[in-house]
Amino acid sequence: MPTARRAGTAQATVRLRDPGDSLPKLVHQAHLISNNSAYTALDLCSTPQHFIELLERLRRTSGLSLRELSNRCRLNGYPVSKSTLHDLLKGQELPSTDLLHAFLHSCGCDADDWMAWHQTRTRLKIAQLLTRTNQPLSLLRRDRFTRTAALSLLTLTVLIAQVIVTLTLAK
């Protein structure tokens, strides 16, 4: 392959062809022209699922099992259980900022790269918030605590209404 000289260093030139509308080919081309494929992957990341796939790739690259990763999180001052890590890597939701930080630190991700990961997470979270539909039941889909609180409030309201109706009919 021919080489080109740039700033005194030899660098292989890459012959680029139009990838058309093929997403895999476009991603491959982006990797070819980038200096850092991890940054390129984060820049191209467009869904929480893609982000989670990148986290899984980072974990596999680190060579850590979920148990080892959980232990390393604890050693680094982040009490993260193995089941929490499993739920993160098998789920569809973006991790919290704290969980992401614990994950990156414990996988041995270079501290200089943490900002790129956090920026991508923030960009995806903002996109989620901007496209969220304001359906009345969307509150119930958010998280376990919110769902439990909402259903408890609904149950309490129905119970109070039932007591009022019973007392009204008893008079």
Between these two residues, 61 and 139, which has the higher pLDDT value?
61
In the structure, how many helices (H) and strands (E) does the chain have? 8, 2
**pLDDT, tens only, 18-76:** 767 666 666 666 656 555 556 677 888 888 998 999 999 999 999 999 999 999 999 98
Q: Which of 48, 19, 15 is nearest to 126 (CA)?
A: 48
Instruction: Please state the length of the chain.
Output: 171
Look up the pTM and report it: 0.59
In this prediction, residue 127 carries a pLDDT of 87
pLDDT > 60? residue 135: no
In this prediction, residue 113 carries a pLDDT of 86
pLDDT > 60? residue 168: yes
Distances (CA, A) of 132 to 38, 49, 93, 97, 141: 28, 17, 14, 20, 12
Residue 21 DSSP label: T
Name the least confident of 46-55, 72-81, 92-101, 144-153. Answer: 144-153
**pLDDT, tens only, 62-89:** 999 999 999 999 998 999 999 999 999 9
